[in-house]
């Protein structure tokens, strides 16, 4: 978490220190003044992995949201890739993932908790993580 303002469209841009050194890659912000970046060391490792073409994906495309009154938050899925692990689990575009492993998602309006949970597992992990999906 950092205090440099991130505006819509800034995700993927560099987070730099006072000397212009890249210290992270911005990935989320919200109206509450919370801003998040992936540390440069983790980002470099992911870039290396991406360049190798050896990266796993759940196959979903979504965004964090929270209702104005705070009564519902989660990850709203825009789409799910056919044949992906998410598709095989029965997820569909329009679904809302509200919890994973008993953690309520996006209570701060960001993807942070969701990303942290996913990054704590590897593709071959058979932990049986549970998620609760709301269909609208």
pLDDT in tens, 26-79: 887 776 778 888 888 888 887 787 788 666 678 888 888 999 998 999 999 989
Q: Give pLDDT, residue 126.
A: 56
CA pair distance 105, 73, nearest whole angstrom: 6
Residue 133, pLDDT > 70, answer no
- Asked whether 7 and 29 are in contact (CB, 8 A), the reply is yes
Q: Of all helices (H) and strands (E), which one includes residue 118?
A: helix 112-119
Tell me the per-residue pLDDT of 69-125, one tens digit each, with 9 for 90 and over.
989 999 999 899 898 888 988 999 999 999 988 889 999 888 888 888 887 776 556
Q: And the tokens for 121? A: 């597992």
Q: Residue 16: in which H helix or E strand, if any?
A: strand 14-16
In order of their start, the domains of the chain are: 1-55 (2.40.10.10), 56-136 (2.30.42.10)
């Amino acid at each position: 978490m950092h205090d440099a303002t991130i505006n819509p469209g800034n995700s993927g841009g560099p987070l730099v220190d006072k000397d212009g050194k890249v210290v992270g890659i911005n990935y989320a912000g919200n109206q509450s003044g919370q801003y998040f970046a992936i540390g440069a060391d983790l980002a470099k490792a992911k870039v290396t992995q991406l360049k190798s073409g050896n990266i796993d994906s759940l196959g979903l495309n979504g965004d964090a949201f929270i209702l104005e009154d705070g009564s519902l938050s989660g990850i709203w899925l825009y789409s799910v890739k056919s044949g992906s692990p998410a598709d095989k689990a029965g997820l569909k575009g329009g679904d809302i993932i509200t919890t994973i492993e008993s953690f309520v998602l996006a209570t701060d309006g960001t993807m942070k908790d969701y990303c942290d949970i996913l990054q704590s597992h590897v593709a071959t992990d058979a932990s049986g993580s549970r998620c609760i999906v709301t269909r609208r």
